[in-house]
Amino acid sequence: MVPHKTPALFKYLFPNLIWNIKDSEKTIFLTFDDGPIPGLTDWVLQTLNEYKIKATFFCVGENIKKHPRQFSRLLEAGHSIGNHTYHHLNGRKVTTNEYMDDVFLCDETLNFQNVSTDLFRPPYGRLKTRQRNALKHKRVVMWDVLSKDYDASLKPKDILQGTIKATQPGSIVVFHDNFKAEGNLKQVLPKYINHFLGLGYQFEQL
């Protein structure tokens, strides 16, 4: 399947989750999941810097601990940081207690880096009702547009076209800061940014 826009039904069923930013005329919110990792995170930072764009990175606690240099670079560049659990857990496959312990462990890892955030994104977008209720102290950020850059069966041109087509003012767009997405991301991200800058859009962090 090509990149797609989140169905309106999801937004209706789960109104307390953040799907997009309303009343954001010609503004797009880029988000990157799963990092930081050596190499690709550095490339993403360089690309965003070239366009003078700020974004939001939903980081995996384990990767923060493994790659503190890349995480420090995110902070130095002034990007927003969100919690993406410590072990990139699928909420539907673990208990609520296990899930929340992992969320808190990621928070502790962030705190060790002098970072505090109320932004949270569930890996895979998967949450049980009890987990969602337990996360009331967080702003749970979903997305309006899923690029599917991680899907190696998709051609970069199809990812680009699908992501552009699905994007609207106020869209929260998901790209991935992981090795599986690297090939597609490097071909799609600069063209995506150029397209919308050419239309007079701006990019902001959450």
Q: Which domain holds residue 196?
A: 4-203
Reported as a single tens digit per residue, the pLDDT across 130-188 is 999 999 999 999 999 999 999 999 999 999 999 999 999 999 999 999 999 999 999 99
Reported as a single tens digit per residue, the pLDDT across 27-67 is 999 999 999 999 999 999 999 999 999 999 999 999 999 99
We report the CATH number of the domain holding residue 100 as: 3.20.20.370
For residues 48 and 6, give the distance between their C-alpha atoms in angstroms, rounded to a whole number: 25
In the chain, the number of structural domains is 1
What residues act catalytically? 33, 176
Instruction: Please give the C-alpha separations between residue 85 and each of 10, 66, 81, 92, 189, in angstroms, as whole numbers.
Output: 22, 14, 12, 14, 25
Alpha helices in the chain (DSSP H): 8-13, 40-50, 61-66, 68-76, 96-112, 129-134, 156-166, 182-198
Using a cut of 0.85, tell me whether the model's pTM lies above it: yes
